[in-house]
Amino acid sequence: QSALTQPASVSGSPGQSITISCTGTSSDVGGYNYVSWYQQHPGKAPKLMIFEVNNRPSGISNRFSGSKSGNTASLTISGLQAEDEADYYCNSYTSSRTVVFGGGTKLTVL
Amino acid sequence: EVQLVESGGGLVQPGGSLRLSCAASGFTFSGFWMSWLRQAPGKGLEWVANIKQDGSEKNYVDSVKGRFIISRENAKNSLHLQMNSLRAEDTAVYYCARGGAQFDPWGQGTLVTVSS
């Protein structure tokens, strides 16, 4: 049950686009389309932003999009806004019928 | 409105036990997998356990197997986590969430501190 690999931090200016990667193995990210992404502001509970690789829950801005290629999933945020500054986590279902998270990525809006 | 409210957290000595509960409302509780997740202070998210709609399947992260037990009471729209043989490394905010592998929404969390 090794954690998925995310960059520790990314940054971008308002209006720009950024991408956060999430790398696993063929036993998790690469083997299933059950990859999701969460946004967490300090002191708050996480919020689902993307599910099943590239689907947005109702109410989530279309500035957020997800994709997957092989064992790596990605979250792209376009038109960066100050309110997007937060921690972002990916997670995946695994072949062991468990769930694994990435270590988290801190997004800074410059 | 879908709502999840955790309770039962607190300070416990190493080796002790604690039972967390999660009260669900605003959706058909019996129709969903449910999960417990945690976040140690200043650290990332960790999935702890999940349970199928009828309680017939339960899965755990390796670090809590044999110590934690997840259960549910569909008639009371409640989810529970019995935590035994607690260790310092179990110190975290514990969240309940709707879903088995994708989680939405999350409760506000309850803090468990394991310390002497």
Closest partner CB to A48 (pick from B35, B95, B104): B104
Could A45 and B50 be called an inter-chain contact, meaning their C-beta atoms sit closer than 8 Å?
no
How many CB pairs lie under 8 A apart between chains A and B? 60
C-alpha pair distances (Å), B35 with each of A42, A69, B40: 22, 28, 17
User: Does B103 contact chain A (CB < 8 Å)?
Assistant: yes
What's the average model confidence in pLDDT over A30-53?
A: 97
Q: Residue A16: its pLDDT value, please?
A: 97
Selected residues 55-84 of chain A with any CB under 8 Å from a CB in chain B:
57
User: Does A101 contact chain B (CB < 8 Å)?
Assistant: yes
Indicate whether A80 pLDDT > 70: yes
In whole numbers, what is the pLDDT of chain B averaged over residues?
98
Residues paired with B19 in a beta bridge: B82
> Using an 8 Å Cβ cutoff, are B83 and B111 in contact?
no
Q: Give the C-alpha separation, A90 to A75, whole Å.
A: 9
Could A99 and B107 be called an inter-chain contact, meaning their C-beta atoms sit closer than 8 Å?
no
Q: Residue A2: its pLDDT value, please?
A: 80
pLDDT band, residue A1 (cuts 50/70/90)? low
Strand order in the sheet with A64-69: A18-23, A72-77, A64-69
Contacts with A46 from chain B: Cβ below 8 Å: 45, 95, 103, 106
Closest partner CB to A36 (pick from B59, B102, B105): B102
Closest partner CB to A101 (pick from B46, B62, B100): B46
Q: Tokens 């809590």 — which residue?
A: B64
Could B105 and A48 be called an inter-chain contact, meaning their C-beta atoms sit closer than 8 Å?
yes
Q: Report how far Cα B15 is from the mean position of its chain's Cα atoms.
A: 18
In whole numbers, what is the pLDDT of chain A averaged over residues?
97
Contacts with A57 from chain B: Cβ below 8 Å: 104
> Using an 8 Å Cβ cutoff, are A40 and A89 in contact?
yes
Contacts with A104 from chain B: Cβ below 8 Å: 44-45
What's the average model confidence in pLDDT over A78-85?
A: 98
- Which tens digits make up the pLDDT trace of B21-76? 999 999 999 999 999 999 999 999 999 999 999 999 999 999 999 999 999 999 99
Indicate whether A56 pLDDT > 70: yes
